[in-house]
A and B are shown apart, each in its own frame.
Chain A
Amino acid sequence: MAIPSYATRGERIWHYVFLGLCALIFLFLVGPLLIIIPLSFNAQPYFSFSEAMLKLDPAGYSLRWYEDFFTSSAWLGAIKNSFIIGIASTILATILGTIAALGLSNRHMPARGAIMALLISPMIVPLIISAAAMFFFFSKINLAQTYLGVILAHTALGIPFVVITVTATLSSFDTTLIRAAHSLGANPTRTFFKVVLPLVTPGVVSGALFAFITSFDEVVVVLFVSGPGQRTMPIQMWSGIREHISPTILAVATLLVLLSMLLLTTLELLRRRSERLRGIAPE
C-alpha cells in the first residue's frame, strides 16, 4: 500500500495515521497472547508482573508453574483425555465429512443448499443449546458420562469444519483431470488414489486440524456430557479459573499458544503445498 506520488500532504498524514491505527489493532489482537508468556515465568503466585520481573532480576523468574503442570496428575490426566477424545472424534468427523463432501461437490446433488445448511448447523447453534440437548438425550440412552458420548458429541461439532474445508478444496478441483486420467487408462480406484486424493489431501488435513482443535478447545459440551472420568484440559482450565486462580493456568496457556503457532505453521505449509500443486505461484 504505497502512497501514490500525487498524494497531498493531508493524504500522507492520513496514511501514516491509518497505519498507526492498524498497528494498534494488531497489538490488541496479539498483545494479550504475548503478555502471558513472560507472566507464566513469574516466581510469585500472581497474575501480574512483580518488581523483580520488571528489573529483570533472575530471582523474579521461575519454572515452578511449569513444574507444577508437568507433575500434576490432574493436568496430565486431563491432557490424556483431551487427546483420546480429540483424536477419536477427529478421525470420525474427517471420514464422515470427507465422504459427504465428495457427494456434496457432485453437480447433481439433490437439495444441496438445505443439506449443506444442516451439516453446518452444529457450528452455528449456540454451544450451550447443543450441550443441554445432548445432555438430555445422552442421559436417556446411557451415553452420558462415557468416552463414547463425548466423542460422538465432539464429532458432531467438528463435522462442519471438515465439510467446509473439503468442499472448498473440491470446488476448485479441475474435473478434467479425472477425465484425463481415465483417458490414459487409469481405472476409477487408481484415479481416486493417484489423482483426486493427493490434490484433496491438504483440504482434508486442514479440516481434520480444525476438527481436532475444536474438540481440544471445547468446554461447554464436555461440561454437560462428560463425567469426572472424562475431564479434559479445557475443563481443568475452566475449573482452575473459576475456583482457584493459580498461575499454572498461565503456563498451560503459554503451552497452548505455542501449540496454536505450531498448528498455524502446519496449515500455512499445507496451503503453500496445495498452491504449488495447483500451479498457483505464491507471487
Chain B
Amino acid sequence: MSESPASPLTTADGVPLKVSLRRAVRRSKIKAFLLVSPLLLFLGIAFVMPIIEMLWRSVDNPEVTTHLSRTVAALEGWDEESLPGEPVFAALVEDLREGQAARNLGLLSSRLNYEKSGMRSAINRTARQLRTIEPPYREALIELNDTWGELDTWKLIQRESTPYTLTYYLAAVDRQLTPTGEIVQVPDHLKVHVSLFWRTFWMSAAITGLTLLLGYPIAFLLASLPLRHSNLLMILVLLPFWTSLLVRTTTWIAILQSQGVLNDVLVALGVIADEARWQMIHNKTGTIVAMTHILLPFMILPLYSVMKTIPPSYMRAARSLGGKPFLSFRRVYFPLTIPGIAAGGILVFILSIGYYITPALVGGQSGRFITNYIAYHMQTSLNWGLAAAIASILLFVVIVFYMVFNRLIGVDKVKLG
C-alpha cells in the first residue's frame, strides 16, 4: 500500500471522492430541476402571471392620469380652498374634446362615478355639449352642470391623479375616502362586502363543522373495518367525490325545492301541510346542505388516512387498563386523530370559502358568498378594479390557510381517492 491512510480517498481516475460526490449531487440537482422546469415555466405563464396581473389591477389607477392629463397638469399648485381658475376648466374642455373624439370617455366617467355619484352624467352631458361651449369655460361649464362648481369634484380629480390607488380596497371593505382624504364608512345601504365576507366565513365554518360531524364516524368505520369491507364502503364515499359538481347541485335542487322530493315526502307523511311547504333552497339552508354533501369526501379521505395508521391495540390497551369506552376514546383515540381533523378541516374550509357554483345556483339572495360578488363585479357592474380587490383579499386569506396547512400537514401528503 503506497498511500498513507491520511491521504484523501479518490475515485479510480484520481479525483478526490468528496469532489466527485459533490459533482454528482450537483449534476443530479440540475437534472431534477430541468425536469421540473417546463412545468414551472408553463404555470408561471398560464397561472402565476395572470394572478399577479390581477393583483396589480386592484391598485392600478390609469383613467384620470391618461384621460385628463391636461387638467391634472393645470391643477398643479391649486390651493384646494376655492374653485380652480379658468386655465383648469379650459384644460378640462380640451381633455374632454380629445376623449370624445377617441370615444374613450366611458372608462373615465365610470371610474369617477365609483367615487362620486353623478360624475358619469356630468362628464357625458358636458361631452355632448362641447361644441356649443364658448369661453370663458369656467362659467360655461358650471352653468352646464353643477358638478363642476363643486369643490369636491376637483379634489376628487386631483386625488385620483396618482398612478396607484387604494380606493378599490377601501370599497372592498365598505369604506371610502372623503374629498379631504379621510377614510369613512360608506352609507348603510351600500354596505355589502364586509357582511358578505363574514357570511362566507361563518357559513364555511359551519360547513366545515358539519362535514367533520358527519365525516368522523364514517372515517372511523372505514378505518376499523377489515380492508375487504371497507373498500366496498369506500366506493360510496368516492362515487359522489367523482360525480360532477353540477350533477350534485342539480340533485339537491330536485330534492329540496318546494315542489321537490323531500317536501313531497313530508307532505305525504303529514308532517307539513301542502300549502306550507318548506323553503329549503335558494337560501342559506340550500347552500349549507349542498356544500356539506359536496365537500364531505374531502373531510373523510384525510381523516381515514390518519385513522388507518392508528393501531387498534392502543384502544384495547386503554380498555384493559380500565378505561371506560368513552374515556379511552377521548384520551387515546381522539388525540391521535387530530392531525386528520386539522387536514380535513383546513382543506374543506379553504375549498368552501372559494366556492362559487353551488352558492350561485342554490344560495339565492341570503346564501350567497363573496365569490358571487366577484363574479357580479366582473360580469355585471364591470367594476374590475373592485372585483380584483375583493379577489385579492380572498386570495390572501386562502394563501394564509394554505400555508398553515402546508406547515402542519405538507401538500405532498394530500391523498386523492
Contacts and interface: CB of A to CB of B under 8 A. Distances in A.
Contacts of A47: 253-254, 257, 259-260
A129 B354 contact: yes
Contacts of B251: 32-33, 35-36, 253
Contacts of B214: 25, 28
Shortest beta-carbon contacts, A-B, top 3: A126-B354, A103-B35, A137-B50
A283 interface: yes
A117 B409 CA distance: 12
B252 A32 contact: yes
Interface stretch (A59-67, A178-186, A193-201, A258-266): A258-266
A149 B51 CA distance: 15
A87 interface: no
Contacts of B40: 100, 115, 118-119
Given A48-B261, A119-B43, A260-B244, A128 B375 contact: yes
B104 interface: no
A46 interface: yes
Interface stretch (B3-11, B108-116, B157-165, B223-231): B223-231
Given A217-B245, A237-B250, 17 more contacts: A32-B293, A35-B251, A35-B261, A36-B254, A48-B261, A49-B264, A126-B395, A128-B354, A152-B46, A167-B412, A168-B412, A238-B361, A241-B246, A241-B249, A241-B253, A256-B243, A261-B239
B243 A260 contact: yes
A227 B134 CA distance: 47
Interface string A104-134: 1011111001011111111011111110111
Contacts of B34: 103
Contacts of B221: 1, 18-19, 22
Interface of A: 1, 11, 14, 18-19, 21-22, 25-26, 28-30, 32-33, 35-36, 39, 46-49, 96-97, 99-100, 102-104, 106-110, 113, 115-122, 124-130, 132-138, 140, 152-153, 155-156, 159, 161, 163-165, 167-168, 171, 206, 210, 213, 216-217, 219-220, 224, 234, 237-238, 241-242, 245, 249-250, 252-253, 256-257, 260-261, 263-264, 267-268, 282-283
Interface stretch (B23-31, B191-199, B337-345): B23-31
Nearest to B214: A25
Contacts of A134: 46-47, 50
A100 B356 contact: no
A22 B223 CA distance: 13
Residue of A25, A104, A283 with highest tally of chain B CB at under 10 A: A25
8 contacts: A25-B218, A28-B293, A103-B36, A104-B35, A129-B395, A133-B53, A206-B417, A234-B245
Given A132-B388, A164-B414, A48 B239 contact: no
Interface of B: 25, 28-29, 31-36, 38-40, 42-43, 46-51, 53-54, 57, 214, 217-218, 221, 224-228, 231, 233, 235-240, 242-255, 257, 259-261, 264, 293, 296-297, 325, 350, 353-357, 361, 371, 374-375, 378, 384, 387-388, 391, 394-395, 398, 402, 406, 410-412, 414-417
Nearest to B34: A103
B130 to A, nearest CB: 31
A159 to B, nearest CB: 7
Contacts of B237: 29
Given A125-B51, A237-B250, A241-B249, A35 B255 contact: yes
A214 to B, nearest CB: 10
A125 B354 CA distance: 8
B395 A125 contact: yes
B357 A161 contact: no
Residue of A28, A46, A213, A282 with highest tally of chain B CB at under 10 A: A28
Given A29-B240, A116-B412, A138-B50, A22 B357 contact: no
* Interface residue SS majority, chain A: helix
A163 B375 CA distance: 30
Contacts of B254: 35-36, 39, 47-48, 250
Contacts of B378: 132, 135, 224
Residue of B43, B50, B357 with highest tally of chain A CB at under 10 A: B50
Contacts of B224: 1
Contacts of B238: 264
Nearest to A29: B240
Given A32-B251, A115-B40, A130 B47 contact: yes
Contacts of A48: 254, 259-261, 264
Contacts of B57: 136
Contacts of B355: 126
A210 B42 CA distance: 19
B180 to A, nearest CB: 33
Nearest to A242: B361
A250 B255 CA distance: 12
A132 B32 contact: no
Contacts of A117: 402, 406, 411
A93 B398 CA distance: 24
Given A120-B411, A161-B416, A32 B248 contact: yes
Residue of B244, B375, B402 with highest tally of chain A CB at under 10 A: B244
A127 B254 CA distance: 25
A168 B297 CA distance: 19
Contacts of B257: 47
A35 B243 CA distance: 14
B244 A165 contact: no
A250 B250 contact: yes
Contacts of B264: 48-49
Given A48-B259, A132-B391, A133-B51, A116 B411 contact: yes
B36 A156 contact: no
A168 B411 contact: no
A26 B337 CA distance: 21
Contacts of B375: 128
A12 to B, nearest CB: 11
B162 to A, nearest CB: 22
